[in-house]
Amino acid sequence: MPYARPAAPGALERIETFCNSARFLYGEDAFTAPDSARAWLRAHGWPNVGDLDEPAVGELVRVREALRAHIEGASGERAASARGILNAHARATLLPPQWRQDGEPQIPTIGGTRGVTALIGSLLATLATEELAGRRPRLKVCASPECRWVYYDRSPGNNSTWCAMDICGARHKMRAYRSRRTAR
């Protein structure tokens, strides 16, 4: 069953799309090999990734999972690891904040970065800008450990937990129901 939530608005859609290059619930991951990663990236608007090799694909996976951990608000060792990955890439690819002619803030990438490095830099710049603007907290990770789909929470109270009630929410409710029945 496909995910039915509308895409995140504006620049957040790039982060959401990148994080959802893996559909864990269905055993799919676009970043398992250079050819599949290159095809997925091109199909999703990143045609200039250059030559992809195994280490570059591995770095895409590391950054994707660090972004997921950051978005879901991971704690402890997992959060420290995610922050370390994101900070290392930010230091290597981003310049200090600046303002465009129209007054909008931006975090530019270092000139000369190419391929996967430029892609990661642009994602981190978007993430930082959206967090500073207060728009990123509505981007969430499904609470189901088997799923972890990234989605944009449009609920009025900003309190969605599941990527979809009819997929992960229903599974959770059924497990809770069975657990209560077994406990009796």
- pLDDT of res. 50: 81
Residues of the chain with confidence (pLDDT) below 70: 1-3, 169-181, 183-184
- pLDDT of res. 17: 96
Tokens 């490095």 belong to residue: 117
Residue ranges covered by each domain of the chain = 12-136
Determine contact, residues 144/163, Cβ cutoff 8 Å: yes
- pLDDT of res. 57: 96
54-72 vs 76-93: helix axis angle to the nearest 10?
A: 120
Tell me, what amino acid is at 173? K
Tokens 């990236």 belong to residue: 41
Q: Give the number of residues written for the chain.
A: 184
Calculate ∠ Cα 40-129-163, nearest 5°: 50
Q: Smallest Cα–Cα separation from 24: which of 70, 51, 61?
A: 61
Query: What residues have CB less than 8 Å from 85, skipping those under 6 apart?
Result: 62, 63, 66
- Considering the four listed CATH numbers 1.10.10.10, 3.50.30.60, 1.10.8.60, 1.10.3300.10, the one that applies to the domain covering 12-136 is 1.10.3300.10
